[in-house]
């Protein structure tokens, strides 16, 4: 039942109200021992943590009393710091030194010891003296005059030099401490003078010492031991100048100084100027000039100028007197008669044109350069020296420019090997090269050509010998036949090709520093330099002219000046009876005694002085071989064709003897060497005749 009442009880919502029961806290008291323990533990943990993340750095300073400060967290005992792995600014300071500041990166650039050197402040030096002003130099550089303070001197040793007129110079070494301090150097110089008494005759002369006026004599003044320049002057007397020495700290007297009366002064002027002057027979100079002479006595003055009459003057001057002497010189005339040829040649004296033709010259008596000139002629200059009252005469005959040119060219020249060449000037002569059709023995390749030679040339007197050739090509052998040598030194070289002869000529030109005539590629001649005056082979035209044309201008058939065959006398080395056993043809009843080649220069030369142009050995010439008839105008300085594969051989040899072969027109082509073919050399003189 009771439960039923409960079930019937009405339940309604009410607002919540918290229970206001007081809270009771339980407190537990911590002992002081526990607190200490906790603090120590925490501190230990912190210290261990710091030690684990920091590094020890010892700072060493110079000077060692410098104070160190570090921006940032750090711990230190003296100069031993514990620093974290970061960047610090290290500062140091000490009296007398510049402040120090430096970044220190512990993490990336750790060092266990860090050296700090402070830079000392400069010092000052005060130099003072009771003898001021004194000039002061520091290490050779002038600083000023005492009293003087030299500032901002770094620590170290300095040299101080002290100078003052009248005192001995002094040098001192000074050590500067620096550190911002001013040090004092007191100096005292030793006097460098002595007192000296000066007496002059006459007295009352002014005296200066080293340019400073001191007074009038008699006078006692200071003179340096190192020497003082003493100047003593008095009107009407010559100045006395001398360097005098006096011992320091002493008193002395100079010997009496006798002043000389003042010299007279003269100015000498001449017209014309440049005359030599003597005074009392002693050379004094040239006009215009100023000089001095002793007073109160006579002097003789003389003036000389080449081409003028000597002038004399006598003078006497008072002390300190000034005088001008003016002299007009008169020409000293001599006569020279100049006879000139050509009659209209111009006469010049010292480069000044006078007039044309022979004439009488009146000239001052001195040396001149007399020149005689005319267009187209070589100017001639001589020295002349007219003499008074002695007439002279000179005769001058001019030669043409071309005559002068050839007069300077020798008639005969020698090569470095000793071979001689003769000068030929054909003078535009025209001759026929080849042979006329009706000439007995004429061959088809001897067609006539009219030739005119203009360019002068040198032509060898003899063929080139084995000895000469072997100086270029030492291994060459000219061979032999039937046991008879062709290779002796004096025999003409043979058994050589045209190319070898041309290359020899170039080698010879090089030895004499002449331009090479033959242009060569790979040891083969490719062309010719006709402007060259180097050695070469003769042209066929030159060879023919030298061999065939007489001085009278006629042409010869045979070398022996006769149209008949065989030779009427021994005139050359041909195929003779001495060679009968080894040659297919020999000249009957002809014996020159040489079965093979003879020495170069054997037998008589032709009328031009050339040896063995026909006979001994046939000769290579420069031209390419051709057969061409020329019926037109004369060929000037004919050189042959420009191209070809063979070259011309001219003249007979020791192996030839027929009528046809002994003629001076005989020619044949060749390429390789033959035992009876050699060569001789030629060259032009200087340049083409048209350039003279």
Residue 312 has a pLDDT of 93
Q: Is the dihedral of CA 611, 612, 613, 617 positive or negative?
A: negative
Distance CA 470, CA 266 (A): 82
Name the pLDDT band for 3 (thresholds 50, 70, 90). very low
Residue 35 has a pLDDT of 78
Indicate the range of 401-405, 408-412, 612-616 predicted with least confidence: 401-405
- 251, 682, 325, 353: which is closest to 501 by C-alpha? 682
Region 342-351: mean pLDDT is: 94
Percentage of the chain beyond pLDDT 70 is 92
Name the pLDDT band for 15 (thresholds 50, 70, 90). low
Could you tell me if 295 and 273 are in contact, meaning their C-beta atoms sit under 8 angstroms apart? no
Residue 8 has a pLDDT of 42
Assign 662 to helix, strand or coil: helix
**How crowded is residue 492: how many other Cβ atoms within 10 Å of its Cβ?**
32
Residue 88 has a pLDDT of 84
Bridge partner residues of 555 (DSSP): 549
Residue 413 has a pLDDT of 96
pTM for this one?
0.53
- 443, 663, 649, 635: which is closest to 572 by C-alpha? 663
pLDDT tens, 200-229?
999 999 999 999 999 999 999 999 988 899
Distance CA 39, CA 35 (A): 6
Residue 17 has a pLDDT of 55
Name the pLDDT band for 29 (thresholds 50, 70, 90). low
Name the pLDDT band for 12 (thresholds 50, 70, 90). very low
Distance CA 506, CA 535 (A): 7
Name the pLDDT band for 118 (thresholds 50, 70, 90). confident
Region 528-555: mean pLDDT is: 95
Strand order in the sheet with 412-414: 412-414, 420-424, 457-460, 682-684
Distance CA 524, CA 645 (A): 13
- 351, 662, 622, 679: which is closest to 495 by C-alpha? 679
* Element containing residue 459 per DSSP (H, E): strand 457-460
Region 411-418: mean pLDDT is: 96
Could you tell me if 380 and 370 are in contact, meaning their C-beta atoms sit under 8 angstroms apart? no
**How crowded is residue 376: how many other Cβ atoms within 10 Å of its Cβ?**
9
Residue 560 has a pLDDT of 93
Distance CA 386, CA 394 (A): 11
108-141 burial code (b ≥16 CB/10 A, e <16): eeeeeebebebebbbbbbebebeeeebbbbbeee
Indicate the range of 101-105, 125-129, 328-332 predicted with least confidence: 101-105
- Quick one: tokens of 279? 């005074």
Residue 20 has a pLDDT of 53
Distance CA 466, CA 83 (A): 104
**How crowded is residue 560: how many other Cβ atoms within 10 Å of its Cβ?**
20
| 426 or 510, greater pLDDT | 510
Residue 340 has a pLDDT of 93
Residue 632 has a pLDDT of 76
Q: Which residues contact residue 683 at a Cβ distance below 8 angstroms, ignoring those fewer than 6 apart? A: 421, 457, 458, 509, 514, 517, 533, 534, 535, 536
Name the pLDDT band for 49 (thresholds 50, 70, 90). low
pLDDT tens, 658-688?
999 999 999 999 999 999 999 999 999 986 6
pLDDT tens, 559-611?
998 889 999 999 999 999 999 999 999 999 999 999 999 999 999 999 999 99
Residue 11 has a pLDDT of 41
Residue 1 has a pLDDT of 42
Distance CA 462, CA 602 (A): 9
DSSP string, 583-625: -S---TT---S-SSPPPTT-S---TTS---SSSSSEEEEEEEP
| CA separation, residue 421 to residues 467, 559, 573, 608, 685 (Å) | 17, 20, 22, 12, 11
- What is the CB-side half-sphere exposure of residue 190 using CA atoms within 13 A? 9
| 403 or 13, greater pLDDT | 403
Residue 7 has a pLDDT of 43
Distance CA 427, CA 406 (A): 13
DSSP strand E in 200-274: where? 200-201, 206-209, 212-216, 219-224, 228-233, 240-244, 251-253, 257-258, 264-271
* Residue 503, φ and ψ in degrees, nearest 5: -65, -35
Could you tell me if 107 and 87 are in contact, meaning their C-beta atoms sit under 8 angstroms apart? yes
- pLDDT for 13 beyond 50: no
Distance CA 232, CA 239 (A): 6
pLDDT tens, 272-321?
999 999 999 999 999 999 999 989 899 999 999 988 888 999 999 988 88
Could you tell me if 82 and 75 are in contact, meaning their C-beta atoms sit under 8 angstroms apart? yes
Q: Which residue has the tokens 């009293």?
A: 147
- Quick one: tokens of 53? 């993340």
Q: Which residue has the tokens 């001994």?
A: 616
Task: Measure CA 126 to chain center.
Answer: 57
pLDDT tens, 477-504?
999 999 999 999 999 999 999 999 999 9
The full set of domains in the chain, from first to last, is: 67-119 (no CATH), 123-187 (2.60.40.1120), 193-258 (2.60.40), 264-328 (2.60.40.10), 333-399 (2.60.40.1120), 409-692 (3.90.1580.10)
- pLDDT for 334 beyond 80: yes
The pLDDT mean for the chain works out to 89
- pLDDT for 145 beyond 70: yes
Residue 264 has a pLDDT of 87
Percentage of the chain beyond pLDDT 90 is 66
- 310, 201, 175: which is closest to 257 by C-alpha? 201
Could you tell me if 133 and 146 are in contact, meaning their C-beta atoms sit under 8 angstroms apart? yes
Residue 14 has a pLDDT of 46
Residue 23 has a pLDDT of 45
């Amino acid at each position: 039942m009771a439960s039923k009442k409960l079930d019937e009880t009405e339940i309604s919502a009410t607002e919540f109200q918290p229970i206001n029961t007081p809270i009771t806290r339980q407190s537990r008291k911590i002992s002081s021992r526990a607190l200490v323990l906790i603090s120590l533990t925490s501190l230990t943990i912190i210290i261990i943590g710091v030690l684990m993340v920091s590094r020890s750095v010892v700072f060493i300073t110079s000077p060692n009393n410098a104070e160190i400060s570090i921006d940032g967290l750090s711990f230190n005992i003296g100069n031993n710091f514990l620093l974290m792995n970061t960047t610090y600014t290290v500062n140091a300071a000490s009296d007398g030194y510049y402040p120090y500041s430096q970044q220190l990166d512990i993490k990336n650039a750790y060092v266990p010891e860090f050296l700090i050197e402070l830079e000392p402040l400069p010092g000052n030096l005060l130099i003072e003296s009771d003898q001021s002003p004194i000039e002061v130099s520091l290490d050779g550089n002038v600083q000023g005059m005492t009293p003087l303070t030299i500032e901002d001197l770094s620590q170290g040793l300095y040299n101080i030099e002290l100078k003052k007129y009248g005192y001995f110079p002094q040098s001192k070494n000074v050590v500067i401490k620096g550190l911002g301090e001013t040090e004092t150097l007191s100096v005292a110089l030793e006097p460098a003078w002595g007192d000296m008494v000066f007496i002059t005759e006459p007295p009352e002369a002014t005296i200066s010492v080293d340019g400073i006026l001191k007074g009038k004599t008699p006078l006692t003044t200071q003179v340096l031991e190192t020497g003082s320049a003493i100047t003593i002057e008095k009107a009407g007397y010559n100045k006395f100048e001398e360097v005098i020495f006096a011992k320091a700290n002493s008193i002395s007297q100079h010997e009496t100084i006798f002043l000389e009366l003042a010299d007279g002064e003269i100015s000498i002027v001449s017209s014309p100027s440049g005359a030599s002057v003597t005074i009392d027979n002693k050379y004094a100079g040239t006009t215009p000039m100023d000089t001095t002479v002793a007073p109160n006595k006579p002097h003789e003055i003389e003036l000389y100028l080449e081409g003028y009459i000597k002038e004399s003057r006598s003078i006497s001057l008072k002390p300190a007197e000034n005088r001008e002497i003016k002299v007009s010189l008169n020409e000293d005339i001599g006569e020279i008669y100049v006879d000139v040829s050509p009659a209209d040649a111009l006469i010049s004296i010292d480069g000044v044109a006078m007039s044309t033709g022979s004439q009488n010259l009146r000239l001052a008596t001195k040396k001149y350069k007399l020149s005689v000139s005319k267009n187209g002629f070589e100017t001639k200059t001589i020295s002349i020296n007219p003499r008074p009252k002695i007439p002279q005469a000179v005769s001058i005959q001019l030669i043409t420019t071309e005559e002068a040119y050839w007069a300077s060219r020798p008639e005969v020249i020698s090569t470095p090997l000793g071979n001689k060449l003769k000068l030929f000037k054909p003078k535009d002569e025209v001759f026929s090269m080849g042979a006329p059709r009706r000439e007995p023995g004429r061959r088809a390749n001897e067609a006539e050509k009219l030739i005119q030679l203009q360019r002068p040339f040198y032509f060898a007197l003899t063929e080139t010998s084995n000895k000469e050739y072997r100086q270029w090509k030492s291994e060459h052998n000219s061979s032999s036949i039937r046991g008879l040598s062709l290779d002796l030194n004096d025999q003409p070289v043979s058994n050589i090709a045209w190319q070898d002869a041309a290359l020899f000529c170039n080698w010879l030109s090089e030895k004499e520093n002449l331009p090479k005539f033959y242009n060569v590629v790979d040891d083969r001649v490719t062309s010719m330099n006709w402007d060259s005056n180097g050695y070469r082979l003769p042209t066929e035209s030159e060879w023919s002219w030298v061999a065939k044309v007489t001085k009278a201008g006629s042409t010869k058939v045979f070398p022996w000046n006769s149209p008949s065959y065989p030779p009427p006398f021994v005139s050359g080395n041909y195929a003779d009876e001495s060679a009968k056993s080894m040659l297919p043809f020999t000249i009957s009843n002809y014996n020159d005694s040489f079965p093979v080649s003879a020495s170069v220069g054997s037998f008589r030369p032709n009328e031009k002085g050339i040896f063995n142009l026909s006979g001994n050995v046939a000769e290579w010439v420069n031209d390419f071989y051709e057969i061409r008839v020329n019926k037109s105008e004369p060929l000037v300085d004919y050189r042959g064709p420009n191209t070809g594969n063979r070259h011309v051989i001219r003249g007979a040899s020791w192996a030839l003897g027929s009528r046809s072969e002994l003629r001076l027109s005989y020619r044949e082509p060749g390429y390789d060497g033959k035992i009876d073919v050699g060569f001789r050399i030629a060259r032009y003189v200087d340049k083409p005749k048209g350039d003279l």
